[in-house]
Amino acid sequence: MSDMFVITVRLCAGVLSTLLLLLSGSLASPPNFVLLFADDLGFGDLGSFGHPTSATPNLDRLAAAGLRFTDFYCTSAVCSPSRASLLTGRYQTRSGIYPGVLYPGSRGGLPLNETTIAEVLKPLGYATAAIGKWHLGFGANGTFLPTNQGFDHYLGIPYSHDMGPCKNLTCFPPDVKCYGWCDVGTVFVPLMHDDAIEQQPVDFLNLERSYSDFAVNFITTSANKKQPFFLYYPAHHTHYPQFAGPDAAGKSLRGPFGDSLLELDNTIGNLLETLEKTGVINNTLVFFTADNGPELMRMSRGGNSGLLKCGKGTTYEGGMREPAVAFWQGTIKPGVTHELASTLDILPTITKLAGAKLPPVMLDGVDLTEVLINNGKSERESMMFYPTDPSEQYGLFALRLGKYKAHFYTRGAAHSATTPDHDCPGSARLKAFDPPLIFDLEADPSENYPLNVTESPEVQAVLEQIKKAKQQFESSMVFGASQIGKGSDPNLEPCCSPQCSPKPSCCRCS
Ligand SMILES: *[C@@H]1O[C@H](CO)[C@@H](O)[C@H](O)[C@H]1NC(C)=O
Ligand SMILES: *[C@@H]1O[C@H](CO)[C@@H](O)[C@H](O)[C@H]1NC(C)=O
Ligand SMILES: *[C@@H]1O[C@H](CO)[C@@H](O)[C@H](O)[C@H]1NC(C)=O
Ligand SMILES: *[C@@H]1O[C@H](CO)[C@@H](O)[C@H](O)[C@H]1NC(C)=O
Ligand SMILES: *[C@@H]1O[C@H](CO)[C@@H](O)[C@H](O)[C@H]1NC(C)=O
């Protein structure tokens, strides 16, 4: 009885504070959103998630003053599909962003009839901007650029920065060599401003400064106009080959990876300072996470998944679980949550907080407002894991339900090579498990000790629930036509002097 009373009071307090928040939101101006998305950054890469030598003073500040998620997932262990899910609140299989990733000359891209977070916010009068790595398509005449997906402005490289000849992509000072490989035989990596090419090749040593200035200017302009805003910053950091300008190069204890992370952190510091200076910090939700696990193949320059198994390209925890932090001064209480959450949930959550309308499509995300505002329960009970080449034939590789994760298939990935764990590299071929491998992620987050299904009735019961959840989910999944399967055409690669020859090397302008 008294327990019940306490629960009721708590629930009421929760609902009440949410109501008050929404009410104050609708009376004052709706909140601003700053969405920060790091690249190939693992669960163990931030100081606030246990890395001993990462220099991330601003991210540490966000984590200390915000809500830190321990069980936050992306939807794919590679870039493009993960981004598609973040911006649409839908698994990548629905929008067709599979298999693998988009290339500079890809014919496909995120279909324009998908609704992005920016498009959800536009009808409410939000100013919207994207800076950094888009990687959801370029296409004929830039059809798939952010400016066609709800963003008023864009400054950035429309794909990964290793997708071009990288001879001159160096760390600072300029005589430091470019680590790792880049693609050859494509155009130099361009910097787009809205839908025009501003630079080709990109000047990497000054790139982060340009992004920071652009974002500071966007926030300042919007705040001065009292216009609510949405800033989406998918960073190139800490993807390979790592680079850093003069303010960060050589300044961390962690080498090129640490320097690139420090450079990202510096920008985050500039953004926070601007939010403060322009007086909007108390009305802005800042959310940080990353697109997929670390590129272990690059060894010490490749990021770190901490105590999680394997990394990029795999459906083990190291490929899919990411650090995440929600910061909103005066609204989100500092703390840690173990609730299950995903990039899929960002769109529904922002929609709710802004008082916008959900897109009329099948969404896979849930509203996290209760988790953010009241450190409450997540509506998310499960998380689905597709491989980088999802197919209806194989379906899900893994599924998490509550604290249990079942692997129906496992496979290593080239991206996860070089650690001593033999399950991680590409040489670990596809293996099917029936019954699936089951782990209790609360007791064993490293996926070291599969539970014995035959021995325990409790685990058997869990397995039945997992099978049911899998069946239900898969019967609701309609695969969109593969956008990446449409292939590439070198003529579609961005070129600042379209008529020049010989391509691709003539596509350079200063
Ligand atoms: C977008 O258009 C394609 C092709 O007509 C269709 O198959 C798909 O369902 C549409 N997607 C949405 C979200 O409406
Ligand atoms: C791109 O735009 C130009 C000029 O509007 C047009 O002539 C050309 O056909 C377009 N290219 C493609 C592939 O759509
Ligand atoms: C790299 O820089 C050097 C010196 O500035 C220049 O001569 C060379 O053409 C550049 N290489 C590429 C691939 O851009
Ligand atoms: C934000 O709220 C805090 C606490 O109410 C207040 O001290 C601070 O001045 C506010 N900052 C801005 C920029 O309004
Ligand atoms: C599970 O337990 C059963 C019964 O104790 C045993 O025979 C079997 O070898 C165990 N399986 C595994 C995979 O450890």
Which tens digit of pLDDT belongs to each residue from 399-415?
A: 999 999 999 999 999 99
Class of domain 398-477: alpha beta
- Is 331:295 a contact under the CB 8 Å cutoff? no
Catalytic site residue from 51, 74, 79, 236: 79
Say what the pLDDT of residue 180 is. Answer: 60
30-380 adopts what CATH topology?
A: Alkaline Phosphatase, subunit A (3.40.720)
**Which run of H or E residues covers position 357?**
none
Task: Of 438, 467, 470, give the one whose Cα is nearest residue 454.
Answer: 438
Type of residue at 168: N
Ligand 3, CB within 6 Å, residue ranges? 165, 167-168
The alpha carbons of the chain give a radius of gyration, in whole angstroms, of: 22
Type of residue at 337: T
Cis, peptide link before residue 323, omega less than 30° from 0: no
What residue spans define the domains of the chain? Answer: 30-380, 398-477
pLDDT digits (tens, 9 = 90+) for 467-501: 999 999 999 999 999 999 999 999 999 999 999 99
Q: Is 410 left (phi over 0), alpha (psi -120 to 50) or beta?
A: beta
| pLDDT band, very low/low/confident/very high, at 25 (cuts 50, 70, 90) | very low
Centre of ligand 5 to C-alpha 411, Å, is 23
| pLDDT band, very low/low/confident/very high, at 169 (cuts 50, 70, 90) | low
Closest residue by CA, ligand 5 atom 11: 452
Q: Is 454 in the pocket of ligand 1 (CB under 6 A)?
A: no
Type of residue at 310: C
pLDDT digits (tens, 9 = 90+) for 309-344: 999 999 999 999 999 999 999 999 999 999 999 999
What's the average model confidence in pLDDT over 136-147? 97
Whether 135 sits among the annotated catalytic residues: the reply is yes
Say what the pLDDT of residue 3 is. Answer: 45
Catalytic site residue from 51, 74, 135, 166: 135
Whether 178 sits among the annotated catalytic residues: the reply is no
Q: Is 111 in the pocket of ligand 1 (CB under 6 A)?
A: yes
pLDDT at 16 over 70: no
Centre of ligand 2 to C-alpha 104, Å, is 17
Q: How far apart are CA 266 and CA 248, in angstroms?
A: 8
Closest residue by CA, ligand 1 atom 10: 113
